[in-house]
Amino acid sequence: MSRKFFVGGNWKLNGDKKSLGELMQTLNAATVDPNVEVVCGAPSIYLDFVRSKLDAKFGVAAQNCYKVAKGAFTGEISPAMIKDCGVNWVILGHSERRHVFGESDELIGQKTAHALESGLGVIACIGEKLDEREGGITEKVVFAQTKFIAENLQNRNSILSHVVLAYEPVWAIGTGKTASPQQAQEVHEKLRQWLKTNVSEAVANSVRIIYGGSVTGATCKELGSQKDVDGFLVGGASLKPEFVEIINAKV
């Protein structure tokens, strides 16, 4: 099955209206591969602004949301609010949410389920820390994280098709270290096998598994050529003109 290449930009806690406006002008004017789905993850306070300024050929994502539609949850945003801004995606389970803000696998699974039930596409992040890789438990960690995401979905086969799974080894995020193309392919292949065994072959064949962790213009082509690497989740480089080069990695 052909899986459409997917490139997400995670702007994290960066930018203001001026700098993001300039970035969007660059993206809007760029020639990008029409066979690639591109989604930009903006800070929540700028979602409306970004959706209004960014060309319709680009999707927009929130970087987080909560597991219910409304209520007494100060500081949170809901999928309903995200959709009300014309935004159709959300990033959930990023390692910074897990390790800086203490979000559990269970909470991330619940948030994923609610976002999907609300009609948002989800970029669901998984990945091991350096001590876990060195301890030889990469598979154990990423399978457990994926299990909580898949388990929370009642009608798994149909809803999971709206999930993009982002494998981001924590030791490679923002460090300048990148998993080798072979390391990335190995984990992606095993994740696809896990989905085949634990969900269904159809889901395993259709779910896009993208790689994140210091992806740059210099590393994107070889990473993107791997059989089970269906795109990227890009951090720092997504705030630079270089992002266009990464979007066009398959050209």
Catalytic residue ranges: 94, 168
- The string over 35-71, giving b where at least 16 C-beta atoms fall within 10 Å of a residue's C-beta and e elsewhere, is ebbbbbbbbbebbebbbebbeeebbbbbbbbbbeeee
- Strand 231-234 relative to strand 163-167: parallel, antiparallel, unpaired? unpaired
Q: Which residues pair with 91 in a beta bridge?
A: 123
SS3 category, 137: coil
The DSSP 8-state label assigned to residue 7 in this structure reads E
Give the CA diameter of the chain: 48
What are the backbone angles phi and psi of residue 232, rounded to the nearest 5°?
-140, 155
Pair 207, 99: CB distance under 8 Å: no
Give me the DSSP letters along 59-123: EEEES---SSSSSS-TT---HHHHHHTT--EEEES-HHHHHTS---HHHHHHHHHHHHHTT-EEE
